[in-house]
Amino acid sequence: MSIVPPMVLTREEMSFDFGGARFDVERDRELLVWIFDQFLYGEVTGIQVGHWLYRAPTLDAANFLARQAVEELQHVDRFLEIFGILSATPGPAHPAVRFLSTGMMSDDWNEHVCLEMALGEGYVLTVLYGLIDTLEHGQIRSILQRATRQEERHVAFGESETIKALQEKPRDRRRLLGLSLWSLVAIGLLARAVERRASDEHPVLRQFPDFLRHVNRTTELRLERLGILNAPFSEIGLLSKSGMMSFAAVGHLANRLWPRRRPRLTATYLQDARMRSGTNQRGRAGHAPHAADGTGDEMRDLTDVVDLE
Ligand SMILES: [Fe+2]
Ligand SMILES: [Fe+2]
């Protein structure tokens, strides 16, 4: 399996300092259940990885996505464990979460890796870091910590694929920036929904407006490091912002209605970089990658996935 480079932002850069404020599992049970309702929906959208596996541009990407699908579906079970700990039944997700996770889904690989993986899973990761820092419940925290390590890899993969995509097609930059601005609008709507549930007295939630500014700043930094944003959001005029958002919305809609399909791996695999990698060299030396006894690298990769349980 190819190595995924580290994320373009560090954990420290993505973490918000809540100044020692904490959630209380008893006092905040209803609010925490609502927060985990949103996470559960996001994890169930792991089924969408199957769509991208079928459209993966390279064997490395296909390998990564197969593993990601297993991890996301494992996360569904881990979040159900949290509902069990809270003695709660899952409820529906907020429309903004459904829009970010499913509504923004297109048939375009570049949109997927940038919007859904680098940015979307990046938002999830920022909230996970926040929950780990503010929730003292040991069992819930350890479930979140395990999921976080896997989400970091998903974000890093989305980022590295976005960088590659923009090297191949630099003119996609404007469209991806427009879509990123739409995703920040959805995050703002979600933040207002959280604020409506919070009292001014709550030690964590009263910091939410600052946390939202932090999410905007880290998104700005991520977009800069991905080569999508050249100047801070504040320097982009309102007219220019709405122009980019309209342009992106039209492009997104067009991709959904008339998807441009690249050839499937079943047609291109012989030209794939993996065919010239060490995996194949070992195969030629007598250790067949697809050996019937399951000792090939592909099988070992899948074994790694199972071990994650
Ligand atoms: Fe996940
Ligand atoms: Fe993920």
Tens digits of residue pLDDT in 73-91: 999 999 999 999 999 999 9
| pLDDT at 250 > cutoff 80 | yes
Q: How far is the CA of 124 from the centre of ligand 1 (A)?
A: 8
CA of residue 75 to ligand 1 center, whole Å: 5
177 domain residue, yes or no? yes
Which ligand gives the minimal distance to the CA of 43?
1
CATH number for 42: 1.20.1260.10
Instruction: Pull the structure tokens for residue 158.
Output: 């989305």
Q: From the CA of 200, how far away is ligand 2's center (Å)?
A: 32
- In the prediction, which pLDDT does 286 show? 40
201/191 Cα distance (integer angstroms): 17
The residue from 239, 262, 285 where one domain ends is 262
The whole-angstrom separation of Cα 145 and Cα 142 is 5
The amino acid at residue 102 is T
Mean of the pLDDT values across residues 264-279?
Answer: 86
CA of 4 to the centre of ligand 2 (A): 14
Could you list the residue range(s) of the whole structural domain that residue 289 is in?
A: 277-309
**Tokens coding 176:** 């991806």
Same domain for 212 and 301, yes or no, is: no
Q: Against a cut of 0.85, is the pTM above it? A: yes
Assess if residue 163 is contained within a domain.
Answer: yes
Residues 288 and 243 in one domain: no
Residue 1 maps to a domain: no
Ligand 2 centroid to residue 72 C-alpha, Å: 6
Q: How far is the CA of 236 from the centre of ligand 2 (A)?
A: 31
Q: How far does the centroid of ligand 1 lie from the alpha carbon of residue 151, in Å?
A: 6
Does residue 196 surpass a pLDDT of 50? yes
> How many angstroms is it from 133 CA to the middle of ligand 2?
20
Co-location of 163 and 300 in the same domain: no
Same domain, yes or no: 189 and 147:
yes
Q: Of the bound ligands, which one is closest to the alpha carbon of residue 75? A: 1
Which ligand has the shortest distance to the CA of 73?
1
How far is residue 274's CA from residue 267's CA, in Å, rounded to a whole number?
15
Same domain, 149 and 214: yes
CA atoms within 13 A on the CB side of 126: 23
Does 210 lie in the same domain as 69?
yes
Q: What is the mean pLDDT of residues 174-199?
A: 87
**102 plus 185 within the same structural domain:** yes
What is the percent of the chain where pLDDT is above 70? Answer: 88
Supply the pLDDT for residue 257. 81
Ligand nearest to the CA of 152: 2
Mean per-residue pLDDT of the chain: 87
149 and 292 inside one domain: no
Residue at 72 is within a domain: yes
Confidence of residue 153 (pLDDT cuts 50, 70, 90): very high
* In a domain? residue 167: yes
150 CA to centre of ligand 2 in angstroms:
7
Ligand nearest to the CA of 151: 2
Ligand index nearest the alpha carbon of residue 116 = 2
Q: Which residues surround the ion ligand 1 when the cut-off is CB under 5 Å? A: 43, 72, 75
Give the pLDDT band of residue 255 (cuts 50, 70, 90).
confident
Q: 156 CA to middle of ligand 1, Å?
A: 14
Name the domain count of the chain.
2
Spatial distance between the Cα atoms of 12 and 114, rounded to a whole number of angstroms: 21
C-alpha 69 – ligand 1 centre gap (Å) = 9
| Residue 162, token pair as written in the block | 């976005």
Q: Is residue 268 in a domain?
A: no
Note the pLDDT of residue 309. 42
Residue 145 lies in a domain: yes
Same domain membership, residue 114 and residue 43? yes
Q: Which residues of 57-77 are buried (b: 16+ CB within 10 A; e: fewer)?
A: bbbbbbbbbbbbbbbbebbbe
Taking the centre of ligand 2 as the mean of its atom positions, its distance from the CA of residue 121, in whole angstroms, is: 6
- Contact criterion met (CB below 8 Å) for 188 and 100: no
Bridge partners of residue 135, in order along the sequence: 23
Answer yes or no: do 155 and 73 share one domain.
yes
pLDDT at 139 over 90: yes
**6 occurs within a structural domain:** no
Of the listed ranges 55-59, 107-111, 158-162, the least confidently predicted one is 107-111
Same domain, 34 and 162: yes
- pLDDT reading at 278 higher than 70: no
Does position 307 have pLDDT exceeding 50, yes or no?
no
What's the average model confidence in pLDDT over 122-142? 95
| Model pLDDT for residues 110-121, shown as the tens digit of each residue | 999 999 999 999
Around ion ligand 2, residues with a beta carbon closer than 5 Å are 121, 151, 154
Residues 39 and 151 in one domain: yes
Backbone angles phi, psi at 9, to 5 degrees: -115, 145
Range name among 182-186, 212-216, 256-260, 285-289 with the lowest pLDDT average: 285-289
